[in-house]
Amino acid sequence: MPYYASGPSALLWAICIFLGFGLAALAGDTPCTLHHEGNYYNLNPLKASQDYEFETPGGHSFYLNVCRRVTTDPWSTGVPDNVDIAGLVRKDHHDFAVGLVNTTLEMRGTELMLHLSNGSPCPGENNLYGSSSIRFLCDPSVYGAGKPMVISQFPEDDNQACQYTVEWRTHFACPTGERGLISGLIVFLVIIMMIFLMLLVVSSTLYNRFVLRKRGFDQLAWFSKVHLLELMDFCIELFRSTVDNVRSSGNRWARSTRNLNPASHQWSSRDEEQAMMAADPLEDHDRELQGTNV
Ligand SMILES: *[C@@H]1O[C@H](CO)[C@@H](O)[C@H](O)[C@H]1NC(C)=O
């Protein structure tokens, strides 16, 4: 049984490394989130299946979405079809794209900003394209998504307008804890478990088919009692050897720090091997006692 120790511990290392990468990816720059001075902001809940609709000062419809392209069909915007328009104004004779999707949030002063650029060509201008700044204001009293409104536009005339400033009061702009990280981790773990389960099903099916030469539905009967017991045994063994490995490396560390003799920091490969193989709690306990006697 102790021989299991190196196999599963390699497996565990693999899982740990995998988890580490997953965590790093989660903690890294998730789209539409921002870490700023110990606060965490997340605008992803504002992504909507139907665009937010409000009006420009001149009474034209403004369609806006957050962190995703508009769901409204753009019409004659003058931007290529394959780009993601973040918002548009339905002007008299065409749609005007107020900018492309940008998932990078910015904190300016105390305001959470989203900058959109590269929209439709500005009327009567060369090399100027529609852009907008969306200012998200934390307002805990706004329970729903809230409603954006145009604060200013330039030029002021509705049909000439090319740069927009939009203000949006919503509780989604308030700093939150890192709940997203924890739930992300849980989702990640569940996915890993499902992958392992799938591998198990596939491999046992293959085993049934090619080794036991079962056919038809028989090859799917992997969850027999024997298999289940084997699986449980394996899991218990894995768990025990892990605990023992952790304990013995803990002991090794404790002993090497207790000993002031520098030579004792060098562990012979024999010691190393014994420690690695330590699967028997009693044996381990004995060694621990010997260790304190040194
Ligand atoms: C996206 O937003 C960031 C932060 O405000 C800004 O620096 C960047 O220029 C924007 N990118 C585009 C393409 O608008």
**Residue 143 is assigned to a structural domain of this protein:** yes
The pairing of strands 33-36 and 39-42 is antiparallel
Nearest CA to ligand 1 atom 6: 115
Q: Can you give the pLDDT at residue 230?
A: 81
Q: Can you give the pLDDT at residue 84?
A: 96
Closest approach atom of ligand 1 to CA 114: 5
Nearest CA to ligand 1 atom 3: 104
117 Cα to the center of ligand 1, angstroms: 8
- Cβ atoms of 234 and 1 within 8 Å: the answer is no
**Residue 274 is assigned to a structural domain of this protein:** no
Residue 267, CA distances (Å) to 11, 167, 242, 245, 262 in order: 25, 65, 21, 16, 11
What's this model's pTM, rounded to 2 decimal places? Answer: 0.57
Give residue ranges with CB within 6 A of ligand 1: 102, 104, 106, 115, 117
Q: Which of 73, 42, 66, 41 is nearest to 52 (CA)?
A: 66
- Cβ atoms of 164 and 150 within 8 Å: the answer is yes
Tokens 């005339």 correspond to 157
Secondary structure (DSSP) of 15-83 = HHHHHHHHHHHHHS--TTEEEETTEEEE-GGG--SS-EEEE-TTS-EEEE-SSS--SSPP-S-SS-TTS
Nearest CA to ligand 1 atom 8: 115
The set of residues, in sequence order, having a beta carbon less than 8 Å from that of 269 and lying 6+ positions away, is none
The residue to mutate among 79, 100, 104, having the most atoms of ligand 1 within 8 angstroms of its beta carbon, is 104
Q: Which of 88, 68, 66 is nearest to 168 (CA)?
A: 66
Residue-level pLDDT, tens digit, the chain, 294 residues? 444 445 556 666 666 566 666 665 555 568 999 988 888 899 999 999 999 999 999 999 999 999 999 999 999 999 999 999 999 999 999 999 999 999 999 999 889 999 999 999 999 888 999 999 999 999 999 989 999 999 999 999 999 999 999 999 999 999 987 655 677 788 889 999 999 999 988 888 888 888 887 777 677 655 566 777 887 888 888 888 877 877 776 555 555 444 444 444 444 455 544 555 554 444 444 444 444 444
Q: Which domain holds residue 96?
A: 41-173
**Residue 96 is assigned to a structural domain of this protein:** yes
Q: Can you give the pLDDT at residue 264?
A: 43
- Cβ atoms of 145 and 172 within 8 Å: the answer is yes
38 Cα to the center of ligand 1, angstroms: 22
Q: Which of 134, 93, 103 is nearest to 30 (CA)?
A: 103
**Residue 284 is assigned to a structural domain of this protein:** no
Q: Which segments of 207-224 does DSSP mark as H helices, in order?
A: none
**Residue 129 is assigned to a structural domain of this protein:** yes
- Cβ atoms of 42 and 53 within 8 Å: the answer is no
Q: Can you give the pLDDT at residue 283?
A: 46
Rounded Cα–Cα distance for residues 123 and 181 (Å): 44
**Residue 237 is assigned to a structural domain of this protein:** no
**Residue 213 is assigned to a structural domain of this protein:** no
Residue 65, CA distances (Å) to 21, 45, 86, 94, 233 in order: 31, 11, 6, 19, 53
Q: Can you give the pLDDT at residue 176?
A: 83
Tokens representing 9 are 């511990």
* Structural domain count of the chain: 1
User: Could you tell me the CATH number of the domain that includes residue 102?
Assistant: 2.70.130.10
Closest approach atom of ligand 1 to CA 113: 5
139 Cα to the center of ligand 1, angstroms: 24
Q: Which of 73, 17, 58 is nearest to 152 (CA)?
A: 58
**Residue 92 is assigned to a structural domain of this protein:** yes
